[in-house]
Structure 1
Amino acid sequence: MTQIPLNTSVVSGVLLKACKDGFRMLLLKRAKEGFWCHVAGKIEGNEKAWQAFIREVKEETSIVVDDLYSADYLEQFYEADKNQISIIPVFVALVASDIEVVLNEEHTQYQWCTLDEAKSLVPFPNQRAVFDHVWKNFVDAKPSPFMKISR
């Protein structure tokens, strides 16, 4: 029996910052594909998933993550061109309101967005579902201390 392969080698996450008029999440515009997204990337070597997310944030934005949580959420989708299902753990980083973003070559633009702005920019329903989940559990409510990742 043929099975659809699972890809569990990718991580993703949302960066949140508090502003005077509410929270914002960071979106990045991919240089190659031209669409807006949150931070994502592949696990390398013996990294744990959360370590890969921290590294990807640093590589893509120059931001050093201090306050890290598991979002307690898995992005999942089917990629027809690869005939594979991707299952991706999602993380949330709370960053300082004055944090500076310096993009690498993978992205051409960035934007700090409200939930509605972010959902209007991204092309995939799963991205909007991730954002709704993160907003509900990290902005509308205080995150559970059990989701905090201690390093």
Structure 2
Amino acid sequence: MSEEYFEVPIRCTGIATVLLKKIEDEYKVLLLKRNTSVLRNVWCYIGGSIEEGEKAWEAAFREINEETGITNVLLYASNKFDQYIHLKKIIYMLPLYLLDLWKTIKM
């Protein structure tokens, strides 16, 4: 009996960035309240699309600047954020970056 295998396409068209700030002995996470048609009023990390010709880390720097105005950053590559989209039968993957604001800028 032969086994059949089915492929699920994987797409990576964006990035996700989690910003941390150490206050006393605790890390705080920056979340933004979205105002888009898809994510209206949803609290979320900084993220966005990778533009043509960009590397994922370049998109992370650009999105941080566009969404917060922060330019002096040090990024750490982390894991990946993935999500299976049932109706489209794809796995959507994003490189995930961490930014420690305590080490890069004074707020």
Query: Please, which of 24, 27, 31 is the counterpart of residue 23 of structure 1?
Result: 27
Structure 1 residues 114-133: aligned runs within 5 Å = none
Matched residues in 1 for 2:23 and 2:74: separation? 17
Bigger-Rg structure (1/2): 2
More strand by share: 2
More helix by share: 1
Q: Relative contact order, CA 8 A, sep 6+: which one is greater?
A: 2
Matched residues in 2 for 1:81 and 1:41: separation? 22
Q: Tell me which residue corresponds to 1:93.
A: 99
The structural deviation recorded for 1:22 is 2.1
Q: Tell me which residue corresponds to 1:84.
A: 90
The structural deviation recorded for 1:4 is 2.9
Is residue 75 of structure 1 aligned with residue 81 of structure 2? Answer: yes
SS of residue matched to 1:47? coil
The structural deviation recorded for 1:97 is 4.4
Matched residues in 2 for 1:25 and 1:10: separation? 20
Structure 2, unmatched stretches of 5+, are: none
Q: Tell me which residue corresponds to 2:63.
A: 56
SS of residue matched to 1:44? coil
SS of residue matched to 1:75? strand
State the AA in 2 paired with 1:39: I
Residue identity (%): 34
Q: TM-score normalised to the size of structure 2?
A: 0.79
Q: Tell me which residue corresponds to 2:46.
A: 39
Structure 1, unmatched stretches of 5+, are: 99-151
Matched residues in 1 for 2:30 and 2:106: separation? 12
In structure 2, the CA distance between the partners of 1:65 and 1:9, relative to structure 1 (3 Å rule), is: farther
* Number of residue equivalences: 97
Query: Please, which of 4, 8, 18 is the counterpart of residue 4 of structure 1?
Result: 8
